[in-house]
């Protein structure tokens, strides 16, 4: 039997993923002052032990005001960088490529953690020491009724934020990350500039496609200039807003071409998030976003990462084998089973499980257990 496509390595610039399985960035809302702690170390570390080829740290804010909640990670100071470096080193020691997503929450900032209701913070509902802050966006249009009305950024402030993305990129490099992803999805700041629904500016950062994409493209150019040539740069896009008159898949294909020309290596193809009604579009369907990854890959000629209710090894295998995407990213399925990659390997390639798929310290013992279980006819 040949190696399953899901377990073939992928080289992007000077970085090789041992397989095509990525852990999608997932906010834990469990940091203090943006600093990761033991929770983040164990949470992320178990995915590397579990055999994923790439493990991406959650949306990490480039400035304090760019956090969704008070519990978000940040990467604007030395303490944050130092703690992230410990995580990156461990991921790498287990054979996973350490990746990090940097972003800014824009008008969706200043809310409670989802497991505390997720509502905007107000003076009435603020927890001790966790007051609300002024949110920012391309235009002073709230995400939804009851949400903070953001302040429209000045051109000078937009330039200042690009500089903050650059600073976080430099810190990510110093912390040992090998893949950097810019968060241009889910209705956060960069998406808000892209979509005509949230961007009503009349200056050079709004209006037509060129104006609305300027902030993202300038930020990508500036980040690429400090992110080394031998390290891949990903951009996560909401490939569709999901509403007439909004950002379309055709827009994403054109933008992906522009991003490729500026040195982006992979489009992480997500969708939605710009307004509450667009947050849940299509979500219940398995593989609901894979067609977007396929279209961007085919029409823009750039590598893509597919994400969204990919849960079955055979389905993930087909996505790679059929050329719909180059990498599959899993979110919730990894939370449910951090050993998803190990189990997929066993399911797709039972003759070649081998200790190599497991860390040295536990692989031989797991193998002996598998032997006992096999004798009893158990999986």
Ligand X SMILES: Cc1cc2nc3c(=O)[nH]c(=O)nc-3n(C[C@H](O)[C@H](O)[C@H](O)COP(=O)(O)O)c2cc1C
Determine the 3-state secondary structure of 304 from DSSP. strand
Q: Which residue shows structure tokens 């158990």? A: 378
The closest residue (CB) to ligand X is 331
Neighbours of 379 (CB within 10 A): 9
Minimum distance between the CB of residue 258 and ligand X, rounded to whole angstroms? 20
Q: Does 182 bind ligand X (CB under 6 A)?
A: no
CB 13, CB 230: distance < 8 Å? yes
Which of 15, 35, 318, 333 forms a contact with ligand X (CB under 6 A)? Answer: 333
**Residue numbers annotated as active site:** 188
Q: Does 286 bind ligand X (CB under 6 A)?
A: no
Asked if residue 25 binds ligand X (CB under 6 A), the reply is yes
Q: Is 244 exposed, middle or buried (0-12, 13-18, 19+ CB in 10 A)?
A: exposed
Contact, 238 vs 248, CB < 8 A? no
Minimum CB distance to ligand X smaller for 17 or for 27: 27
- Burial class (CB within 10 angstroms; exposed 0-12, middle 13-18, buried 19+) of 372: exposed
- Considering beta carbons, is residue 245 or 284 the nearer one to ligand X? 284
Strands 15-17 and 10-12: antiparallel
Q: Per rule CB under 6 A, is residue 49 in the interface with ligand X?
A: no
Token pair listed for 75: 């990467």
Region from 19-27, 123-131, 165-173, 361-369 binding ligand X, contact rule CB under 6 A: 19-27
* Interface with ligand X, residue 27, by CB under 6 A: yes
- All residues at 6 or more sequence positions from 163 whose CB lies less than 8 Å from its CB, including other chains: 222
Query: Could you give the CA distance from residue 176 to residue 93 in angstroms, rounded to a whole number?
Result: 12
| Contact between 223 and ligand X per CB under 6 A | no
Nearer to ligand X, 311 or 367 (CB): 311
CB 120 to ligand X: min, Å = 18
Select the residue interacting with ligand X from 59, 99, 169, 197 (CB under 6 A).
59
Helix 155-174 to helix 78-93 angle (10° resolution) is 50
Question: Candidates 18-26, 79-87, 131-139, 349-357 — which segment interacts with ligand X by CB under 6 A?
Answer: 18-26
Binding status of residue 176 toward ligand X by CB under 6 A? no
Q: How many residues bind ligand X (CB under 6 A)?
A: 20
Residues 100-119 that bind ligand X (CB under 6 A): 101
Least distance to ligand X, CB of residue 52, Å: 12
Mark the segment that binds ligand X (CB under 6 A) among 14-22, 167-175, 179-187, 254-262.
179-187
Which backbone phi and psi does 324 adopt, to 5 degrees?
-80, -30
Residues 278 and 198: beta-carbon distance below 8 Å:
no
Residues near ligand X, by CB under 6 A: 24-27, 58-59, 101, 183, 185-186, 236, 270, 307-310, 330-333
């Amino acid at each position: 039997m040949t190696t399953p496509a899901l377990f073939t390595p992928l080289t992007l610039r000077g970085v090789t993923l041992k397989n095509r399985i990525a852990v999608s960035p997932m906010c834990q809302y469990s940091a203090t002052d943006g600093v990761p702690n033991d929770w983040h170390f164990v949470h992320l570390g178990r995915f590397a032990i579990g055999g994923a080829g790439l493990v991406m740290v959650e949306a990490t804010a480039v400035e304090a005001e760019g956090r969704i909640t008070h519990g978000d990670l940040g990467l604007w100071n030395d303490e944050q960088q130092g703690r992230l470096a410990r995580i990156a080193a461990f991921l790498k020691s287990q054979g996973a490529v350490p990746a990090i997503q940097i972003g800014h929450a824009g008008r969706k900032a200043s809310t409670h953690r989802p497991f505390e209701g997720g509502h905007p913070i107000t003076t009435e509902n603020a927890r001790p020491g966790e007051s609300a802050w002024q949110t920012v966006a391309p235009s002073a249009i709230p995400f939804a009724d009851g949400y903070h009305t953001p302040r429209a950024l000045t051109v000078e402030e937009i330039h200042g934020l690009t500089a903050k993305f650059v600073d976080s990129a430099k810190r990510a490099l110093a912390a040992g990350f090998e893949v950097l992803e810019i968060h241009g999805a889910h209705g956060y700041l960069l998406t808000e500039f892209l979509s005509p629904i949230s961007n009503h500016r009349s200056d050079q950062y709004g209006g037509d496609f060129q104006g609305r994409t300027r902030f993202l493209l300038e930020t990508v150019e500036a980040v690429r200039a400090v992110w080394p040539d031998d390290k891949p740069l990903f951009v996560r896009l909401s490939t569709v807003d999901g509403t007439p008159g909004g950002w379309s898949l055709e827009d994403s294909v054109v933008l992906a071409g522009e991003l490729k020309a500026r040195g982006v290596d992979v489009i992480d193809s997500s969708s939605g998030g710009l307004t509450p009604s667009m947050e849940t579009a299509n979500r219940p369907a398995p593989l609901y976003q894979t067609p977007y990854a396929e279209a961007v890959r085919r029409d823009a000629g750039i590598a893509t990462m597919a994400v969204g209710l990919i849960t079955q090894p055979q389905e993930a295998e087909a996505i790679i084998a059929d050329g719909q995407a180059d990498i599959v990213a899993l979110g919730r399925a990894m939370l449910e089973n951090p050993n998803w990659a190990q189990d997929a390997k066993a399911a797709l390639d039972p003759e070649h499980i081998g200790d190599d798929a497991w860390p040295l310290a536990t692989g031989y013992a797991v193998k002996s257990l598998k032997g006992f279980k096999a004798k009893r006819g158990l999986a």
